[in-house]
Amino acid sequence: MGRYLTRRVLQFIPVFLGATLLIFIMVWIIPGDPIRALAGDRAMPESVRAALTEEYNLDKPAWQQYWLYISGVFQGDFGTDFRGRPVSELMGQRIPITARLAILAFGFEVIIGIAAGIVAGVRKGNYLDNLVLTSTLVVIAIPIFVLGFLAQLLLGVQFPIFPVAGIREGWFSYLLPALVLGSVSLAYIARLTRAALVENLRADYVRTATSKGLSRLRVVGVHTLRNSMIPVVTFLAIDLGALMGGAIITETIFNIPGIGRAVFEGVQRQEGTVVVGIVTFLVFIYLIANLVVDVLYAVLDPRIRYE
Amino acid sequence: MTQVPLQTRDLVAGKPAVPGAPLLSVENIHVEFRLDFGTVKAVNGLTYHVNERETVAILGESGSGKSVSAQAVMGIIDSPPGFVTDGSVKFRGVELLTMAEKERRQVRGERIAMIFQDALTALNPVFTVGWQIGEMFREHHGSTKKEGLDAAVELMDRVKIPLARDRVNSYPHEFSGGMRQRVMIAMALALDPDVLIADEPTTALDVTVQAQIMQLLSDLQEETGMGLILITHDLGVVAEVADRVVVMYAGDSVEKGEISDVYHNPAHPYTMGLMDSMPRHDVQKDRLNPIKGSPPDLMAIPAGCAFNPRCPYAQDICRVEKPHLHELGEAGRVSACHFVEEVRDARNRSGSRL
Ligand SMILES: Nc1ncnc2c1ncn2[C@@H]1O[C@H](COP(=O)(O)OP(=O)(O)OP(=O)(O)O)[C@@H](O)[C@H]1O
Ligand code: SF4
Ligand SMILES: [Mg+2]
């Protein structure tokens, strides 16, 4: 396992370089002139333009720009935005906000999703099962921005239980956006748990467990659940990465200043440093999530051994 | 292994055992599976019993209801869709079918244990064998983890798994097929059950290992005096160790008797068909004759004798009237065929493939 982990972490390097290069190129080939965009309608003095071009290396070829940037990143320097503020400072502000949103959403997925899946799976075909199957299908079918606006309208405006938008009320203001953000994955988790449970409950070893004279609770809770969690855990770990990066719609609807919004604004302003910085961070999160999945696999299923 | 005092043996989940009753008796049991597209009548009136120190083989083709009838005895039928609709299962004279689930659980594993065909799928892949064997002690006797593991090592020694102490923390997939089946046996024997049901314990194994496992079961039975039920579709495998045999067709017994009697002198056309379709070391045969036709559709079992569409001796009455088990000359020998005498005569006259 130790050797496997070392190899995997080393594999991070090429993946990381490749991914950041791609993002860099994509930002670079966006048509338009970032400095013009910055100036807006006003005319910009030629001296300022020259200084900015110089500072952001905009006159150098793309590969050089990339190289200068990435060597900075390895020294902890993510560059500055066009207002001269370090990107790392921006990230330091925005990441905790999105992280809070993602963690809450993740909590909803784990607790509600798995519980609903178990309830549906142990008594396949009864009314609770049908309820879970139908409601998850509805959630999966509705686009997330519709779901978001609907939740906002219903629980923020009609019945003002939650704040409509913003983050002024601390953790409480994150609850509704987190539920919206996690809703689709929650539905998938419920279905995944249910399917795995139904399948495993038919397994021979479950019959063995019953024939050992164990209680139903133990047969399901210990012997069946552990095996059923293998696909669910995989999904969850990958999803944690997706939640961090995928919050942009939710953040926009609920006016939450997280990294999703920061990337969006960065793209609009063509602030390459901001976009690349944040996306690089997200790539990193994805890589870690993937590694966690592989490790969890081996922990949950002893038949998997990494050499 | 400490001998359990008789008094506890005399109680079955708190109820007094009936003196003189057979260890296990199954009477007229019926099991059906109610599926969307019809009802599968898997067991239809099976009756048999096992005494202490006795080995009974249950023989039948695939789909004849052997496993389902064993599951009915254990009380582990998938329900729904499966239901025991009639009959009785008595352990030391105490009815199990009407028992509350909580009491039934005290019988399951403790008094009647079961081992399954494919030990690879029947053992939980994500727990160590020691944990799985030890669970019997932890759950039934409240042992600690350590005590459970120690007991597991002892049991693994007993079923002759080499280096038990080193292997107790291995996972099922790390064992060979034969060793895995030994782990299953160890787990089933953990609480020193009175009855052990072995559902085709050697079908997944190669021939030499089959013989070793059979020998092990037979030795263990000698040691503990338990009643042993051996489910098989190949009489040859159990011929050496079984005392009696129950031949099943379409969920009911068609013939019962001492194993040597049935083996050498079958008294039902279906049993004869089975004998002729399997290789035997005691009879030279040029070729095997499989039974013609296919096993019955359990959603539409033929009227009269269930075997009649495949039986070379079938007459009109066979298609109308269900033959009951009637006694033959030999001890405990019964056969359910309208034409037992004629069929046996015909077979003996033809010099037969015996
Ligand atoms: N859970 C179930 N749901 C529906 N039908 C079932 C179920 N279990 C068993 N059956 C049906 O009951 C019948 C008897 O099955 P059983 O497993 O007892 O056969 P068997 O004699 O053990 O055969 P084999 O030698 O193949 O193990 C089969 O037709 C099978 O399809
Ligand atoms: S009762 Fe008739 S059909 Fe059935 S086994 Fe006997 S002869 Fe054959
Ligand atoms: Mg079977």
Query: What pLDDT, on the 0 to 100 scale, is given for residue B51?
Result: 92
Is residue B256 in a domain?
A: no
Q: Is B249 in the pocket of ligand 2 (CB under 6 A)?
A: no
Considering the domain boundaries, does residue A290 fall inside one?
A: no
B250 φ/ψ angles, rounded to the nearest 5 degrees: 50, 40
Q: Are B139 and A213 in contact (CB under 8 A)?
A: yes
Domain for residue B255, yes or no?
no
Residue with the bigger pLDDT between B247 and A280: it is B247
Q: For chain A, what percent of residues have pLDDT higher than 70?
A: 91
B335 occurs within a structural domain: yes
**Cβ distance of B105 and A209 shorter than 8 Å:** no
The ipTM assigned to this model is: 0.87
Q: Is residue A13 part of a domain?
A: no
Domain with residue B199: its CATH number is 3.40.50.300
Least confident of A34-38, A216-220, A267-271, B97-101: A34-38
Query: Which of B74, B121, B128 is nearest residue A204 as measured by Cβ atoms?
Result: B121
Establish if A296 belongs to a structural domain.
no
Q: How many residues does chain A have?
A: 307
**Residue B173 included in any domain:** yes
Determine the pLDDT at residue B230: 93
Residue A120 inside a domain? The answer is yes
Among residues B207, B242, B277, the one where a domain terminates is B242
Give me the half-sphere count of Cα atoms (radius 13 Å) on the Cβ side of residue B241.
27
The pLDDT assigned to B354 comes to 44
* One domain for residues B210 and B121: yes
User: Residues 6 or more apart from B59 whose CB is under 8 A from it?
Assistant: B232, B233, B235, B238, B245, B246, B247, B248, B274
Question: Where residue A174 sits, what CATH number does that domain have?
Answer: 1.10.3720.10
In a domain, B285, yes or no: yes
User: DSSP string covering B6-66, please?
Assistant: HHHHTEETTEEPPTT--SEEEEEEEEEEEETTEEEEEEEEEEEEE-TT-EEEEE--TTSSH
B225 & B270 share domain:
no
Pair (B12, B83) in one structural domain: yes
- What is the number of the ligand 2 atom nearest to the C-alpha of B319? 3
Among A54-58, A119-123, B160-164, which is the least confidently predicted range? A54-58
> Which chain A residue shows the shortest CA-CA distance from B175?
A303
- Same domain? For B107 and B210 the reply is yes
Q: To test the ligand 1 pocket, which listed residue (B26, B66, B247, B299) has its Cβ within 8 A of the most ligand atoms?
A: B66
Nearest CA to B264 out of B141, B347, B199 is that of B347
Task: Provide the domain limits for residue B303.
Answer: 261-350
For chain B, what is the radius of gyration of the CA atoms?
21
Is A157 a member of any domain? yes
B237 plus B270 within the same structural domain = no
Ligand 1 binding pocket, CB closer than 6 Å: B 33, 40, 42, 60, 62-68, 78, 81-82, 233, 298
Q: Residue A45: its pLDDT value, please?
A: 74
| Separation of alpha carbons B48 and B325, rounded Å | 12
**Closest of B208, B205, B229 to residue B217, by C-alpha:** B229
pLDDT-based confidence at residue A186 (cuts at 50, 70, 90)? very high
- Of B270, B337, B345, B347, the residue with max ligand 2 atoms within 8 A of its CB, to mutate for a pocket test, comes to B337
- Do the strands B195-199 and B244-249 form a parallel or antiparallel pair, or are they unpaired? unpaired
At residue B55, the pLDDT reads 93
B233 lies in the same domain as B267? no
Q: Do A204 and B171 touch (CB under 8 A)?
A: no
Residue A142 has pLDDT above 70, yes or no: yes
The pLDDT value given to residue A42? 66
- Residue A41 main-chain phi, psi, to 5 deg: -85, -20
pLDDT of residue A22 exceeding 70, the answer is yes
pTM passes above 0.90: no
Whether B223 and B177 map to the same domain: the answer is yes
- Domain span at residue A230 reads 94-268
Which one of A207, A213, A218 has the shortest CB-CB distance to B106?
A213
d(CA B78, CA B166): 37
CA–centroid distance, residue A201 to ligand 1 (Å): 17
Structural contact between residues B273 and B291, judged by C-beta atoms closer than 8 angstroms: yes
pLDDT at A295: 83
Answer yes or no: is B339 within a domain.
Answer: yes
Q: How confident is the model at residue A307 (pLDDT cuts 50, 70, 90)?
A: low
Rounded to the nearest 5°, which phi and psi values hold at B228? -125, 130
What is the rounded CA–CA span in Å between residue A100 and residue B69? 56
Report the candidate in B173, B137, B139, B181 with the shortest Cα–Cα distance to residue B156.
Answer: B181
- pLDDT value at residue A252: 84
Atom in ligand 1 nearest the alpha carbon of residue B248:
21
Residues B273 and B223 in one domain: no
Residue B295 covered by a domain? yes
Ligand 2 contact via B339 beta carbon (within 6 Å): yes
CB contact under 8 A, B74 and A211: yes
Q: Do B155 and B39 sit in the same domain of this protein?
A: yes
Six-digit token string for B30: 């019926």
A23 part of a folded domain: no
pLDDT tier at A149 (50, 70, 90 boundaries)?
confident
A19 within a domain of the structure (yes/no): no
Domain edge (last residue) among B212, B242, B272: B242
Helix (H), strand (E) at residue B82: strand B82-91
CA distance A47 to B300: 95
Report d(CA B294, CA B250) in Å as an integer: 11
Does position A202 have pLDDT exceeding 50, yes or no? yes
| Beta-carbon separation of B108 and A210 below 8 A | yes
- 3-state helix, strand, coil split of chain B in percent (to 5) is 35, 20, 40
At B300 the three-state DSSP class reads coil
Whether residues B282 and B177 fall in one domain: no
Q: Average pLDDT for consecutive 10-residue bins of chain B (354 residues)?
A: 54 79 93 92 93 92 92 90 92 91 91 90 93 93 90 89 90 90 91 92 80 86 91 84 92 91 88 81 66 85 89 88 86 87 81 51
B263-287 confidence digits (pLDDT tens): 888 889 999 988 888 776 666 666 6
Task: Provide, rounded to the nearest whole percent, the portion of chain B with pLDDT above 90.
Answer: 42
Do residue B27 and residue B163 come from a single domain?
yes
Residues B124 and B158 in one domain: yes
Q: Nearest bound ligand to CA A207?
A: 1
- Of B330, B274, B290, the residue nearest B60 (C-alpha): B274
User: Number of structural domains, chain A?
Assistant: 1
Question: pLDDT of B203-240, one tens digit each?
Answer: 777 888 888 888 888 888 988 989 999 998 888 878 88
Number of domains chain B contains: 2
Range ranked top by mean pLDDT from A30-39, A106-115, A275-284: A106-115
Task: Determine the average pLDDT of the residues in A136-148.
Answer: 86
Contact status of B142 with chain A (Cβ, < 8 Å): no
Q: Does any domain span residue B1?
A: no
B227 three-class SS: strand
